[in-house]
Structure 1
């Protein structure tokens, strides 16, 4: 029980004690963050869920409660193919960023002894991210285009007779751009986890006769799983919400859920886009929940 003592203004010896419930200070401390999350997260999501049940036409929306938007979303084979295509992008980009991100983080954490050099190299990795995502994405076009640098090198060296067409405006270009954009979001949490590993564990495993591969698979990888899980959540959520990369790098020949919602909003079909947003949010939350059931990431947060 928390007690607050007040001194009476008229009589210094007259005192009053007000007993506060023990839960009140905790609720007062949590109130500012609760208000911020409620205003900028919970209420907007609630509004999207409400609008997803409204009716609409080419001119305006009609408040109500109809399930037509969800029926069209879940009952259309085109929509299912779009979701599967988005999941395909998420899976491939996740696998590539995990592979690249782990080895980059491992090199920085275990092969660079100087903390100053680690900071310099990590800063080098982050320098491209000081520019806009759109600029870094578009920079691949003169590299992968039909008359781009890659095709000029391949044709000029005699390896090919004609330029390769599938380097740009294809799924390959979309995945390559996404890997370039989101690898750092995998490197950072894995590097943070690897730096927390007690080096005495590695030395103990080496003294016990373990090879470098055994140390990697039995000591380092298991202890780096929380960082991998956090990086996975970052990368998957970013890929699922990306529409500009798919639109530009595929040349309009591919689709994603986010791009579909963007097109619906451009046609003023806000309730249909809201329904897709709710379905996508539920899908992402289920994926995050599955990750958190497999790996405990609370100690890394």
Structure 2
């Protein structure tokens, strides 16, 4: 009988891929973040000046520095997008899992939800411009209905348009894991709650939500981490007028300030990891999966 190769040998290809394409780039970015800042070339060395530059003037809480303001803006976008995608994603996943009985219908509706992913993110973002612009369809409709006398300015190139694009782009990342968790729920538990006299809302809150927490956590991690590092959406939908950490790093790299951008990336990674650790304190994924 042929024996299977040892576990360490089976894990070697995966480990090699992780080291080459994940761990090594992170270590390189961390190393570059300590190199001296130069306008024309990368000079290996060791200095904390890049981190000092990032947080220069941040000691005063009454007048936060640019870095703190940028991180506050990015976290604001992440939390608002997370809340909206959670509500929308949970509602859609609940409908697909509990109100659509046919497996074929579930599959068809699920595929319909993925249709926007068949095109580029940039194309999906640009599609909002003719709708939300000064002479766009929304403003024309509002003026034709007599609801406004002039175009609404905040529909485009504003915080509203950025959040709208985020929700449009990333709600699916919340739907999929929540739907997967809901499909694993034993339907007899729902029937037992109903037989015990629980209302639909009580069943939802006391049975469905707790049993869907793994999917909620995974979806939350997806959405928050993607939004925290996004710079394309903020640039396009914000009209290059709204700051975010990802946008700052993109600008720094465009000006060849690689050590400073690397330091900013390390700080961003630390913030995202802290958020993930905080979320994991609510649900232990290792036990739930």
TM-score normalized with structure 2 length: 0.94
| Partner residue in 2 for 1:141 | 129
Measure the CA separation in 1 of the matches of 2:27 and 2:225. 20
Aligned to 1:25: 6
Residue aligning to 1:16:
none
Question: CA–CA distance in 2 between the matches of 1:198 and 1:173?
Answer: 40
Q: Runs of at least 4 residues of structure 1 off by over 2 A?
A: 296-301
CA contact 1:193–1:300 (8 Å) conserved in 2:
no
**Alpha-carbon shift at residue 135 of structure 1 (Å):** 0.3
1:17-166 equivalence runs, <5 A: 25-76=6-57, 77-166=65-154
CA drift of 1:300 comes to 5.9
Structure having the larger proportion of residues in strand: 1
User: Contact (CA 8 Å) 2:30, 2:263: kept in 1 or not?
Assistant: yes
Q: Does 1:244 align with 2:229?
A: no
Please give the per-residue CA displacement for 1:178-207, whole angstroms capped at 9, x wherever unaligned.
000000000000000000000000000101
Q: Secondary structure at the match of 1:56?
A: coil
Residues 227 and 300 in structure 1, CA contact (< 8 A), matched pair in contact too: no
Are residue 206 (structure 1) and residue 194 (structure 2) matched? yes
d(CA) in 2 for partners of 1:74, 1:118: 50
Q: Give the Å deviation of 1:132.
A: 0.2
C-alpha deviations, 1:12-71, integer Å up to 9, x for none? xxxxxxxxxxxx922222211111100111011000000000012211121100000011
Q: Secondary structure at the match of 2:149?
A: coil
Give the structure with higher Rg (CA).
1
- Where in structure 2 are there 5+ consecutive unaligned residues? 58-64
Of residues 52-61 and 97-106 in structure 1, the stretch that sits farther from structure 2 once superposed is 52-61
Superposition map of 1:176-195 within 5 A? 176-195=164-183
**Does structure 2 conserve the Cα–Cα contact (< 8 Å) formed by 1:169 and 1:251?**
yes
Whole-angstrom distance in 2 between the partners of 1:207 and 1:58: 71
User: What TM-score results when the alignment is normalised by the length of structure 1?
Assistant: 0.91
- Partner of 1:75: helix, strand, or coil? coil
The DSSP-based 3-state class of the residue aligned with 1:62 is: coil
Shift of 1:291: 1.0
1:73-130, Cα deviation, whole Å (9 max, x unpaired): 1235101100110000000000000000000000000000000000000100001111
Distance 2:237 2:15 in 1: 40
Cα deviation for residue 299 of structure 1 reads 5.5
Deviations 1:229-288 (A, max 9, x none): 000000001101110110111112211000000000000000000000001011111111
